[in-house]
A and B are shown apart, each in its own frame.
Chain A
Amino acid sequence: MADDAFDTVVAAHHAEIRRYLLRVTARPSEADDLSQETFLRAFRAHGSLPPDSNVRAWLFSIATNLSRNHFRAQKRRLRAHAAAARERPEVDSAWPESEAAASEARARIEAVIAGLPLKQRLAFIMRKMHDLDYAVIGANLDCSADSARAHVFQALRKIRRGLEGLALVETEPMP
């Protein structure tokens, strides 16, 4: 029955969709609520989904819409979140303390991501954290694939500027 098919959908995608929403909101409780709502909506609609649909892209589109509505409704929260993200303490095994510059870079990158306009942030996270196609990202954000790409690279430029002053590259003298 279709219910079993949906159990498979939950098993395959719930963790990733929640992680996406966690990156977008930076709050586990909001990621819980929005991921739950994403799958409840998907459950209502999955019966009318054409059989060859890309379920993963479809779930990202529901999650993206929900987070956009969520932030639209609570713009104040967005600002609070940006502040909270900047205050987040750094604890991380993947970023060894010896790499002081790397640790500093991560903090700055996270601050830049948290402060990005919502569309750029969503496009950046979908592309760089979840490898979605620009066409899918565009569809999820109501824009063209080219605009989706532009959002991602705009975000990368901002991150690059955010890292200004950090010694990331050993400059080699020109031959």
Chain B
Amino acid sequence: MSHPHPVCREIEPDLPVVAAGEASRAVAERVGRHVGSCTACHEELERYRAVEGFVGRLREAPLPGDDPTLARAELESRLADLRSRLVSFGIFPSPVGPILIARSELGVAMVRYLTGRTRGLAAEVQRLLGDDVVEDRAATEALHAELVAYLEGRRTRLDWPLDLRLARSNFHRDVLRATAAVPYGAVTSYRGIATEIGHPSAVRAVAQALRHNPLPIVVPCHRIIGAHGELTGYAGNRLSLKEQLLAVEGVRTERVAKAPHVARHALYHYDPNEQHEYCLPTCGEIARRPIGPITLFASPERAEALGLVPCTSCRPDLHPLHA
């Protein structure tokens, strides 16, 4: 419709706005005054009002194909599938610095110490864990709370199911499982783990596997040490972190030729025997032997929690080590 009059041309863009009820008061009044004296514009406004009415009815009218039931059921099943594959991660502060925790429906999949840089981290996590990775602090918050309690010594167990998807081989998985079984407040050697998984000579392979532990703290590779009590590597070159984690569990360390070692004279020793007896470090030659299959405990309670009993010759129950 053409409007010959300049006022009508000026008013025209406002007509649909007024009809939609979205015009400002001033515009509505101006249009109202004009259509009161202009039949063409009055008619045009009414047409726009009719359009609004039709559009409103179109909105209310049933829409062919508007039954979401099947689509919803299909969506639920895709979501269930996605949930089983999905890995959620969160980044949190902790007593050992910022830390990343990732979990799937199966269990905790990755723990990583962060060293300042968080840019590009999501992409890196995705590269490691696959496409189905999302940042979701809420999903990992509970794990974080337990981890902090553990690092502060308020909790001695992290009973989390493990998702070992980042294990590189069956051997790697075996090493991680055996390490996960080393209890709180205890340390053993790489050789001990190698023996445990049936490959007693694969000491270096065990050390290498633990160097690539995707779940530090949770899989307590800090409890695995060299045959002479040396702490060896941890998280790159963060031996002090290993000492810190052991200290939380009551395992004392000392310097031997400037290198940190566990303080064997301050730890209870268990060399596998039929009587399941644990000993004082002064029992015979025990503290001078390579740790190998020996497990060291921070306290008699830690040893006895595993069902071990005091040695009947050295009597750690009668002569406890001084803390």
| Chain B residue nearest to A160 in the complex (CB) | B51
Whether A31 contacts B55 in the complex (CB less than 8 A), given A43-B82, A47-B88, comes out as no
Q: Is B274 an interface residue (CB 8 A)?
A: no
Contact with A along B87-110 (1 / 0, CB 8 A): 010000000000000000000000
Q: Is A106 an interface residue (CB 8 A)?
A: yes
Q: Is A60 an interface residue (CB 8 A)?
A: no
Of the 9-residue stretches B58-66, B146-154, B179-187, B238-246, which lies at the interface with chain A? Answer: B58-66
Which residues on A sit within 8 Å (CB–CB) of B59?
Answer: 128-129
B1-35 interface with A by 8 A CB criterion: 1, 13, 16-17, 19-20, 22
Contact yes or no, B78 A156, CB < 8 A: no
Contact yes or no, B16 A1, CB < 8 A: no
Residues of B within 8 A of A (CB-CB), count: 48
Bin chain A's interface residue count: 35 or more
Contact yes or no, A168 B139, CB < 8 A: no
Which residues on A sit within 8 Å (CB–CB) of B323?
Answer: none
Contact with B along A1-31 (1 / 0, CB 8 A): 1110110001000110011001100011001
Of the 9-residue stretches A65-73, A89-97, A114-122, A136-144, which lies at the interface with chain B? Answer: A89-97
Contact yes or no, A14 B61, CB < 8 A: no
Q: How far is the CA of A36 from the CA of B66 in the complex (A)?
A: 15
The interface of chain B, by Cβ under 8 A from chain A, is 1, 13, 16-17, 19-20, 22, 39, 42-43, 46-48, 50-52, 54-55, 57-66, 68, 70-72, 74-76, 78-79, 82-83, 86, 88, 132, 134-139
Could you list 16 examples of A-B contacts with CB < 8 Å? A2-B88, A3-B139, A5-B138, A10-B72, A10-B75, A10-B76, A28-B64, A32-B70, A40-B82, A91-B64, A94-B61, A94-B62, A105-B54, A106-B57, A159-B51, A163-B51
The interface of chain A, by Cβ under 8 A from chain B, is 1-3, 5-6, 10, 14-15, 18-19, 22-23, 27-28, 31-32, 35-36, 39-40, 43-48, 88, 91-95, 102, 105-106, 109-110, 128-129, 149, 153, 156-157, 159-160, 163-164, 168-169, 171, 174
